[in-house]
């Protein structure tokens, strides 16, 4: 009789703990994590400028959002009024800083050899949407303060 009572004192609480754990696991499956709503935004950046990419919302509290920064404009195009061996190209170097502090770099260009005008990083797609001024500056002109239009989307598109 003592063995039966002893088993009930050990087995019954253990059984209750296992059932509570299973119930909690089943209830957790019903919880859905908030996913950011699909968005596509265009940011206009000058060299050294940055933009916070669409603020994510998790359970009603604004979460930190990634930040993209235009680090450098590389304009090797043949300047107006000069005679050049090749046409050159213009490219834009960006840094993407994630809320966790991780950083990645990428370069976008419409006409750079082996370059691309669209790239994906961390669930975001970055597309070079344009820049101004379009023509290369004259040979004696100071390089302009370029304005780069960058389309950012969290929608996977081909």
In this model, does residue 1 exceed pLDDT 80?
A: no
In this model, does residue 44 exceed pLDDT 70?
A: yes
pTM of the entire predicted model: 0.69
* SS3 assignment for 71-100: EEEEECCCCECCCCCCCCCEEEEEEEECCC
pLDDT for 58 equals 44
| Nearest Cα to Cα of residue 124 among 39, 55, 43, 49 | 39
Q: Which residue has the tokens 């290369």?
A: 136
Instruction: For 13-36, write each residue's pLDDT tens digit.
Output: 666 666 666 666 555 555 444 566
Question: Is the peptide bond prior to 133 cis by the omega test (within 30 degrees of 0)?
Answer: yes
Per mean pLDDT, which range of 22-26, 102-106, 142-146 is the poorest? Answer: 22-26
Q: Report domain extents, the chain.
A: 1-31, 40-153
The conformation of residue 138, written as its DSSP 8-state character, comes to: B
Sign of the torsion angle spanned by Cα atoms 117, 154, 131, 147: negative
Per mean pLDDT, which range of 19-23, 62-66, 89-93, 123-127 is the poorest? Answer: 19-23
| Nearest Cα to Cα of residue 121 among 106, 140, 132 | 106
Q: How far is residue 49's CA from residue 70's CA, in Å, rounded to a whole number?
A: 6
């Amino acid at each position: 009789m003592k063995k039966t009572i002893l088993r009930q004192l050990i087995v019954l609480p253990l059984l209750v703990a296992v059932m509570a754990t299973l119930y909690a696991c089943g209830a957790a499956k019903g919880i859905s994590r908030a996913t950011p709503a699909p968005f596509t935004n265009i940011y206009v950046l000058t060299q050294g400028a940055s933009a916070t990419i669409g603020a994510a919302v998790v359970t009603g509290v604004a979460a930190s959002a990634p930040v993209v920064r235009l680090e450098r404009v590389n304009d090797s195009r043949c300047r107006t009024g000069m005679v050049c061996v090749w046409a050159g190209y213009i490219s834009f170097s960006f840094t993407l800083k994630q809320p966790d502090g991780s950083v990645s770099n990428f370069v976008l260009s419409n006409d750079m050899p082996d370059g691309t005008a669209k790239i994906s990083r961390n669930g975001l797609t970055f597309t070079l949407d344009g820049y101004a001024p379009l023509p290369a500056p004259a040979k004696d002109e100071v390089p302009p303060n370029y304005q780069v239009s960058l389309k950012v989307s969290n929608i996977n598109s081909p």
